[in-house]
C-alpha cells in the first residue's frame, strides 16, 4: 500500500532523495590577513577573478554582502557553455564566517542542484585559515557529475583565490592604518633570576624553547643579546606560512631586565612592530617575571589577541626549560 505522498512524488524526486552527494570540506591557509580573504569573497570585482576552476571564467557576477543579498554569478566553461549560480547570503559575520545558499541552474533555467556553503575565516600564524564546507542537494539526478568533481574543482578554485589574494595584498592599501595593543603577563618560575635571564639571552639556551612548536621548521636563527645587538628567527609553519622575527636589544641588565623592539613579517608583509620588556625579581627561591608588550599592528592586520596567547605559550615553554623536572 502506498501513501498519497508516494503516489504524487515524481520518479526524479524519489531518485534525488536516494542519491544525495556527500558533504565536502576543503581548507587552505593564506599568507594574508582574514580581512583581505573575506573581501575577496564579498566583492563582485574580486569574485570574477577567482570563483571558478582553471580554464573557466566568470563574465558576470553580482554580490551584495548582506543577509538576503545576492550571490549570483555566471560560470563559463572552456567550450563556451555557461551555467548561472543563483545564491544569497544566509549569514554574515564580518571577517569570520559566511553562509551562502547557492543553486546551480542549467541552460534551460531549471535548477540542477543546491549547495549550502559555509565559509570560516580564522587567524593562524599571522595569516588566514580558510575552511569551506558544502552540503549538496540534487534537484535533478543528472547533475551528479557536477558534484562528483567538486573536490578537484575547489582545489583549483582555491589556487585561483591564492593568486587573487596575493594580487590584493601587493596593491597599495586603500588607507594605511595602525592599531595599538598592549598586554602584561606575570609568572613565577622555580628558577633563579640568573637562570631565567640566561634562558632569555643565551643563544643555545633560547633555541631550546623559543620557537613555533609542533609543525614548525626553523629556517634561520641568530642572536646577540647586548645593547645594539640583534636577534633573527625565521621559520615555516605546517600550513606553508613563513614568519620572520627581527629584534634589536636596547637595554640589557643581567638578571634583572631586558628591553627590545621587534618587527614581525608574514611572508614579505610586515604585520607589526612591538616593544617588549622583561623584568625579573627574586621571589623566594624562584623568580617573578613580568612581561609587558606594546604593539603596533599595521595596515589591516587583526591580532585578535593571538600575540598575547602566543607569548603565554612561549613562557610555558620557558618554564619547562628552566624548572627542574618534578
pLDDT digits (tens, 9 = 90+) for 203-250: 999 999 998 877 789 999 999 999 999 999 999 887 677 889 999 999
How far, in Å, CA of 57 to CA of 82, rounded?
A: 9
Topology of the domain comprising 178-322:
Alpha-D-Glucose-1,6-Bisphosphate; Chain A, domain 4 (3.30.530)
Provide, rounded to the nearest whole percent, the portion of the chain with pLDDT above 70. Answer: 90
CATH superfamily of 11-170: START domain (3.30.530.20)
pLDDT at position 59 over 90: yes
Nearest CA to 248 among 218, 266, 269, 226?
A: 226
Whether the domain at 11-170 and the domain at 178-322 fall into the same CATH topology: yes
Mean pLDDT of the chain: 88
The DSSP bridge pattern shows strands 269-283 and 257-266 to be antiparallel
Annotated domain spans of the chain: 11-170, 178-322
Please report the pLDDT score of residue 10 as a whole number: 54
Please report the pLDDT score of residue 88 as a whole number: 97
pLDDT at position 186 over 50: yes
Which of 194-198, 263-267, 282-286 has the least mean pLDDT? 263-267
Q: E strands along 21-155, which residues?
A: 24-30, 57-63, 71-76, 82-93, 97-105, 111-124, 127-138
CA distances from 84 to 17, 161, 171, 201 (A): 23, 20, 30, 61
Please report the pLDDT score of residue 143 as a whole number: 67
Strand order in the sheet with 97-105: 24-30, 127-138, 111-124, 97-105, 82-93, 71-76, 57-63
Please report the pLDDT score of residue 19 as a whole number: 62
Please report the pLDDT score of residue 214 as a whole number: 78
Q: Which residue has the cell 638578571?
A: 255
Please report the pLDDT score of residue 5 as a whole number: 42
Amino acid at each position: 500500500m502506498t501513501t498519497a505522498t508516494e503516489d504524487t512524488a515524481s520518479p526524479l524526486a524519489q531518485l534525488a532523495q536516494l542519491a544525495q552527494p556527500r558533504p565536502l570540506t576543503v581548507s587552505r591557509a593564506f599568507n594574508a590577513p582574514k580581512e583581505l580573504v573575506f573581501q575577496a569573497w564579498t566583492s563582485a570585482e574580486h569574485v570574477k577573478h577567482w570563483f571558478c576552476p582553471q580554464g573557466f571564467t566568470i563574465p558576470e557576477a553580482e554580490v551584495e554582502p548582506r543577509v538576503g543579498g545576492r550571490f549570483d554569478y555566471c560560470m563559463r566553461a572552456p567550450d563556451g557553455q555557461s551555467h548561472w549560480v543563483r545564491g544569497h547570503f544566509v549569514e554574515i559575520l564580518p571577517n569570520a564566517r559566511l553562509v551562502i545558499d547557492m543553486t546551480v541552474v542549467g541552460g534551460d533555467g531549471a535548477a540542477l542542484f543546491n549547495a549550502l556553503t559555509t565559509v570560516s575565516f580564522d587567524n593562524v600564524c599571522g595569516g588566514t585559515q580558510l575552511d569551506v564546507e558544502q552540503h549538496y542537494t540534487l534537484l535533478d539526478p543528472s547533475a551528479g557529475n557536477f558534484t562528483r568533481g567538486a573536490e578537484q574543482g575547489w582545489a583549483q578554485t582555491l589556487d585561483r583565490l591564492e593568486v587573487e589574494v596575493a594580487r590584493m595584498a601587493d596593491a597599495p592599501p586603500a588607507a594605511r592604518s595602525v592599531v595599538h595593543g598592549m598586554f602584561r603577563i606575570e609568572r613565577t618560575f622555580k628558577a633563579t633570576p640568573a637562570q631565567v635571564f640566561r634562558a632569555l639571552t643565551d643563544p643555545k639556551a633560547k633555541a631550546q624553547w623559543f620557537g613555533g612548536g609542533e609543525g614548525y621548521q626553523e629556517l634561520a636563527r641568530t642572536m646577540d643579546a647586548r645593547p645594539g645587538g640583534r636577534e633573527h628567527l625565521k621559520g615555516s609553519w605546517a600550513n606553508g606560512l613563513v614568519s620572520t622575527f627581527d629584534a634589536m636589544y636596547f637595554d640589557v641588565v643581567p638578571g634583572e631586565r631586558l628591553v627590545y623592539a621587534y618587527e614581525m613579517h608574514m611572508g614579505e608583509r610586515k604585520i607589526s612592530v612591538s616593544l617588549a620588556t622583561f623584568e625579573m625579581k627574586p621571589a623566594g627561591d624562584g623568580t617573578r617575571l613580568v612581561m609587558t608588550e606594546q604593539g603596533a599592528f599595521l595596515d589591516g592586520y587583526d591580532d585578535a589577541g593571538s600575540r598575547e596567547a602566543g607569548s603565554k605559550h612561549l613562557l610555558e615553554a620557558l618554564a619547562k626549560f628552566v624548572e627542574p623536572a618534578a
